[in-house]
């Protein structure tokens, strides 16, 4: 009987989430938790709505409970790492993200969040490796392409940056930041192309020399906005 009640409450909570009623969903999940405190599915759903309510401490607690009760659930490890990322607990995020990836190598969001961690820790090469793996698994992941574009721009590898900015814009045509990055990168590629059939003249060569480049310091990865890749809301208790 209790099992049926828990399932019914979870269904009601999921409906509340789908309607954007996150606080209502949290209260329903708490009722379900009172009936079955060791249910990883209830903890998973509760963690998700706590995140949506920006209660990151509670979200991390309940995702951690899922990893304790169901240690092979890859999504719980990855989402816990994403929440740690949001909480600036970068050193704590890395091992749980790696554990999630170890459990399921096909999780693009695990590599994506690992890229965010390394980027924020000032390890761009590791970030690039993680983002490249994310887009290998999911070539349509616009955020990962955009972040790769940013990283390659910082390394002045403009042709590579161009590839990823173009892909980000193709996947999300109305994304202004990706469009801006693409425009800036195209200008830099054009500026750095050697002149063709241009007669040599010292004065002309000096005038044509590329000017010093200054990247926009405001163009950066936004882990607060893009670091969270939780499961679809209508499947909050399904991994």
* Residue in 225, 196, 229, 189 with CA at minimum distance from that of residue 210: 189
Phi-psi region of 77 (alpha: psi -120 to 50; beta: other; left: phi over 0): alpha
pTM score, two decimals? 0.77
Section 129-156 average pLDDT:
97
Whole-angstrom distance, CA of residue 117 vs CA of residue 87:
11
Whether the Cβ atoms of residue 119 and residue 151 lie closer than 8 Å to each other: yes
Tell which CATH architecture fits domain 107-192+216-233. Alpha Horseshoe (1.25)
Decide yes or no: CATH 3.40.50.800 for domain 1-66: no
- The domain spans of the chain are 1-66, 107-192+216-233
Least confident of 4-8, 38-42, 135-139, 219-223: 219-223
Give residue-wise pLDDT tens across range 173-229. 999 999 999 999 999 999 887 644 444 444 443 444 343 333 333 333 344 344 443
Average pLDDT of the residues of the chain? 85
**What Rg value do the Cα atoms of the chain yield, rounded?**
23
Give residue-wise pLDDT tens across range 192-206. 876 444 444 444 434
Distances (CA, A) of 111 to 13, 137, 185, 225, 228: 30, 9, 25, 16, 12
Give residue-wise pLDDT tens across range 51-98. 999 999 999 999 999 999 999 999 999 999 999 999 999 999 999 999
* Residue 1 scores a pLDDT above 50: no
Distances (CA, A) of 68 to 40, 72, 73, 119, 207: 9, 9, 10, 28, 65
* Residue in 38, 43, 48 with CA at minimum distance from that of residue 16: 48
According to the model, what pLDDT value does residue 235 have?
36
| Alpha helices, H only, the chain | 2-18, 22-35, 40-52, 56-69, 74-86, 90-103, 108-120, 124-137, 142-154, 158-171, 176-192, 202-208, 223-226
* Residue in 233, 227, 11, 213 with CA at minimum distance from that of residue 110: 227
Burial class (CB in 10 A: 0-12, 13-18, 19+), 2: exposed
Share of the chain above pLDDT 90, in %: 78
Instruction: Please provide the DSSP assignment of 113-159 as one string.
Output: HHHHHHHHTT-HHHHHHHHHHHHHH-TT-HHHHHHHHHHHHHTT-HH
């Amino acid at each position: 009987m209790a099992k049926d009640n828990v399932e019914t409450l979870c269904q009601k909570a999921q409906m509340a989430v789908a309607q954007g009623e996150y606080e209502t969903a949290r209260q329903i999940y708490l009722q379900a938790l009172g009936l079955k405190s060791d249910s990883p599915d209830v903890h998973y759903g509760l963690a998700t709505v706590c995140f949506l309510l920006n209660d990151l401490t509670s979200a991390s607690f309940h995702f951690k409970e899922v990893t304790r009760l169901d240690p092979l659930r890859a999504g719980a490890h990855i989402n816990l790492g994403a929440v740690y990322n949001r909480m600036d607990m970068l050193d704590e995020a890395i091992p749980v993200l790696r554990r999630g990836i170890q459990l399921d190598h096909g999780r693009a969001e695990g590599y994506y969040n690992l890229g965010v961690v390394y980027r924020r820790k000032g390890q761009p090469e590791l970030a690039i490796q993680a983002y490249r793996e994310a887009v290998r698994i999911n070539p349509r992941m616009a955020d990962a392409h955009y972040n790769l574009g940013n990283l390659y721009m910082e390394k002045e590898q403009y042709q590579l940056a161009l590839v990823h900015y173009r892909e980000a814009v193709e996947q999300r045509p109305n994304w202004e930041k990706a469009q801006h990055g693409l425009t800036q990168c195209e200008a830099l590629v054009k500026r750095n192309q050697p002149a063709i059939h241009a007669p040599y003249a010292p004065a002309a060569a000096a005038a044509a020399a590329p000017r010093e480049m200054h990247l926009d310091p405001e163009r950066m990865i936004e882990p607060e906005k893009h670091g969270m890749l939780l499961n679809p809301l209508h499947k909050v208790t399904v991994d």
